[in-house]
Amino acid sequence: MTSFPEQRKDTRTLVTIMAIIVLTVVGLALAARLYVPATDETRSDASTSEPAGETASNGAPLVGAGEGSHWVTVPAGTLITVEFVDSVSSETDVAGDTFTARIVEPVVVDGEVALHAGDEVLGKVIEAVPAKKIGGQARLNLDFTALRLASGTEVELSAGFVHDGKNQNPKDAATIGAVGTAIAAANEGDPIEIPRGTVIDIRAVAPLSFPLG
């Protein structure tokens, strides 16, 4: 016959064992709830995600760079022929106004079309002085700020006017024949007008690097 002290000892041992079993079961249950196995979908998302903060070689943030694209660089000094989509005038525009032009002739780099006809050139007005001010001589200063490709990629642009006389009538030549992006009217009292549809050449001041694909 088992003595009373031995019965108490057996009872404590049994309680301890049961407590260990309960804690083990609870721990396994919690681990099972927290564990989320990797699926083909999550693995695919991780492998195709784009690197954060990707930038062009000139430091501009890229928009629209996707998987499978490759990089191309348009050298500094490259001529880009553009057509103004918006008209710009020294008489009606003010500093801060924006305008859009589109590329009319493809730009080829190493046998590959880097800039396509229809790609957009974005710009803004830096200064607009009407003819009635500063002694009657109008002035217009434009800044070409970015390229927007058909893929949606945007890259910073720095470019200036090139005057070679082509695609310009005498009035246009007097208006947009300039070095850089500042334009002064040829004659006092004449406004500076760049009508919609005006075609000019601009020259890239710095290389333009961006993804194609």
Domain boundaries, the chain: 70-212
pTM above 0.95, yes or no: no
CA atoms within 13 Å, Cβ hemisphere of 70 = 4
DSSP per residue over 162-188, as a string? E--STT--HHHHHHH--SBTEEE-SST
Confidence (pLDDT) at 36: 53
| Domain 70-212 -> CATH class | mainly beta
| Residue 141 · residue 93 · CB < 8 Å | no
Confidence (pLDDT) at 29: 64
Question: Which tokens in the block code for residue 112?
Answer: 């590959």
DSSP bridge partners of 120: 102, 148
Give residue-wise pLDDT tens across range 70-91.
899 999 999 999 999 999 999 9
Confidence (pLDDT) at 155: 93
Confidence (pLDDT) at 157: 93
Rounded distance between C-alpha atoms, residue 1 and residue 100, angstroms: 103
The list of the chain residues with pLDDT below 70 reads: 1-12, 14-15, 19, 22-23, 25-68, 133-135, 163-182
DSSP bridge partners of 143: 124
| Residue 52 · residue 81 · CB < 8 Å | no
